[in-house]
Amino acid sequence: MAGEPPLPRIFVYSLGFLLNKPLRRKMAALGWPVRIGVPSPQDAVAVWGRKPVAKRGLAVARWRGVPVISFEDGFLRSVQTGRQGAAGLSLIADDLGIYFETSHANRLQQLIAETADQSAQELARARDGIGLLRRHHLSKYNDYPLQVPDIPNEFVLVVDQTRNDASLVGAAVGADDFQRMLGDALADYPDLPVVLKTHPETNAGTREGHFQASDLPDRVVVLDKPCSPWHLFDGAVAVYVVSSQLGLEAIFAGHKPVTYGRAFYAGYGQSIDRHLDPPTHAPRTAEQLFQATYLQYSRWYDPYFDRETDFETTARVLSAQANMHRDTRQPTICMGMRLWKRGFLKTYLGNPRYLENIDAAVDVARQTNARIAIWAGKETDELREKTTAAKVPLLRIEDGFLRSAGLGAELVRPVSLAFDDLGIYYDPTRESRLERLITASVELPEYALKRADALRQSILAAGLSKYNLGGDVPLLAPAKGQKTVLVPGQVEDDASILKGADKVRSNLDLLKATRAAFPDAYLVYKPHPDVQKGLRKGALAASETADLADLVVTDADISALLDQVDQVATITSLTGFEALLRGKKVTCFGVPFYAGWGLTQDFAKTPARRHARPCLRALIHATLIGYPRYWDPVTGLPCPPEVVQERLASGETGRGSRAGIRLLAKLQGVFASYSHLWR
């Protein structure tokens, strides 16, 4: 960072550093490119934790008289474990020791001691950080479903760890301490069941734990399936750990865990310490422990842009990756999907099967515990009725609201998709998952609203829209004091019109209704890009617009156009939402997803269930952060919307398509009038 002294060169003597390309890349991005050779006096030796191979590096450091920097994974690492091949998103570099060797000096102890002077701003950031962990169900490893596990309502939580781990040596414990922990939990709470949570690496079959199910008393329930620790904290009466990181997370959840090892978070007044030689430190709050551990000691890596980042960004990244991982783990049968969509659907859904017969799809889904996915516009009453009767989940798919740099009708792959298990956002005749998110958004914490506002500001600064087609900046010429109203044309046979339109159902009717509502305004009409290119229905002749619109623009940049107008009048166009982002007034003659919440002027009747009154920031969070799933077109990784925003702003979108796809797009244009044959 600016103003800090340059980092020393580091030399390594373990193949793990050299052969692990993601680790080398991460270390280089954080300022620690690895080298081999003999270090000079101003250099340092790097070792990984306290693995046996670290002895070589420690020996070289003693020989050359140079310092040792101990590296380890940070406290939010990845979805799956390193032994499962997952690259980490964080790193610890300790120039004094390593955090889990609490009997020796280490940098974390020093940082915790320094939090005595925590400022109000630092306290607030730490409190929000703890909120992020809880809200997104984040832990070091995150390969678990978000459903509440099948466990007793009240229980005592006992946390196992893996055998022979270096952290146990550092915490001055052995296998007997785990047996003592379990015995104490049973004795302290004789009338409650004990839930024994096994380690993620034990669950994955890569490392052995300390307990065998066959040797446990009947009162012990072994939880060897992945689950969110935050669900466990909610139901636990007490938490028992040896030195597991879950003990620290339990503190963040409001518990005072019972510890049996010299855990790095023990001795600060936030735990009950039963080690024979427990550590003692000046008391610290949960927020102070978080600040030192997550905000100062850990370093965070951005895998999309290969650069250092912060805790908050990493939490969002890990949440996005974990959510996508959960989605791809569930078997999916796709129906009615055009061939060109199957390539990108695989990235969002794993390895779906494709079936066209409804009865066959429902039967296979029922046998394999799968869900059925369909492009929202192709859903039929028959499919809905048969999936409901068979209790098979039905998932509707649509493009997200930051979609691409190019049109879907031209077969440009989307960087976001919406998956809806209730309805679909453009259909107001029934509830959608987006509606529920908007309703719940009134309860969002301030840090979530700030995130939504930051995303909004980035979108506006980059001039982004759904398709990001670019274009000319039109010259508008309203009279002095005359209100300028933009009328975005729509595809007249689009599902959003078929489902969400009221009395105004065509582009011509929209122009007439807008002129009637704003008789003295300067009306600017912009045809829909798909219609303008001849790909979809809804074109108007010049004679039809002449007496209604003051100006018709075709190849205009929609973002630049929105910046120049005072208001937008629409049926259900997403342009209305983009206008809200820019602080413009919006009049709706139909029922788009953003109507009925008190943020628009509504001429059509909106559903009574839209009774919540979210602020604009809350609507943005639900719409752009909570509802869609995003995929980075450069790295091929699931990502949060901020990554897609930056890609679209920089032009790194993988917009180009193969020659065959481009040819197919042209053929679509030729046969647009026969769209019922290919759509």
Other residues' Cβ atoms within 10 Å of the Cβ of residue 121: 8
| DSSP-derived pairing of the beta strands 90-94 and 68-72 | antiparallel
pLDDT averaged over the chain? Answer: 91
The larger pLDDT score, comparing residue 661 to residue 537, is at: 537
Whole-angstrom distance, CA of residue 322 vs CA of residue 329: 11
Question: Is pLDDT above 50 for 664?
Answer: no
Question: Is pLDDT above 80 for 405?
Answer: no
Task: Tell me the pLDDT band of 557, cut-offs 50, 70 and 90.
Answer: confident
Going by C-beta distance under 8 Å and a sequence separation of 6 or more, which residues neighbour residue 506?
492, 538
C-beta of residue 240 within 8 angstroms of C-beta of residue 186: no
Q: What percent of the chain has pLDDT over 70?
A: 94
Other residues' Cβ atoms within 10 Å of the Cβ of residue 307: 11
Whole-angstrom distance, CA of residue 206 vs CA of residue 367: 30
Other residues' Cβ atoms within 10 Å of the Cβ of residue 372: 26
Amino acid at 459: I
pLDDT at position 407 is 54
Whole-angstrom distance, CA of residue 94 vs CA of residue 292: 13
Q: pLDDT tens-digit profile of 385-401?
A: 999 999 999 999 999 99
Q: pLDDT tens-digit profile of 31-66?
A: 999 999 999 999 999 999 888 888 999 999 999 999
Structural domains present in the chain: 114-302 (3.40.50), 440-666 (no CATH)
State mean pLDDT over 175-190: 96
pLDDT at position 83 is 86
Question: Is pLDDT above 80 for 658?
Answer: no
Whole-angstrom distance, CA of residue 231 vs CA of residue 17: 36
Q: pLDDT tens-digit profile of 103-150?
A: 899 999 999 999 998 899 999 999 999 999 999 999 999 999 999 998
Among 233, 276, 277, 241, smallest CA distance to 167 is for 241
Window from 22-36, 113-127, 656-670 with minimum mean pLDDT: 656-670
State mean pLDDT over 299-315: 98
Q: pLDDT tens-digit profile of 203-241?
A: 888 889 998 888 899 999 999 999 999 999 999 999 999
Task: Tell me the pLDDT band of 344, cut-offs 50, 70 and 90.
Answer: confident
Whole-angstrom distance, CA of residue 463 vs CA of residue 501: 28
Q: Is 299 helix (H, G, I), strand (E, B) or coil?
A: strand
Among 341, 400, 407, 350, smallest CA distance to 374 is for 341
**How far is C-alpha 338 from the chain's CA centre?**
27
pLDDT at position 406 is 57
**How far is C-alpha 552 from the chain's CA centre?**
40
Q: Where are the strands (E) in 215-273, listed by range?
A: 220-223, 236-241, 258-259, 272-273
State mean pLDDT over 534-550: 86
Prediction pTM value: 0.90
Question: Is pLDDT above 60 for 674?
Answer: no
* Tally of helices (H runs) and strands (E runs) in the chain: 27, 26
pLDDT at position 411 is 60
Whole-angstrom distance, CA of residue 89 vs CA of residue 635: 15
State mean pLDDT over 165-178: 90
C-beta of residue 101 within 8 angstroms of C-beta of residue 50: yes
pLDDT at position 614 is 98
pLDDT at position 480 is 94
Q: Is 318 helix (H, G, I), strand (E, B) or coil?
A: helix
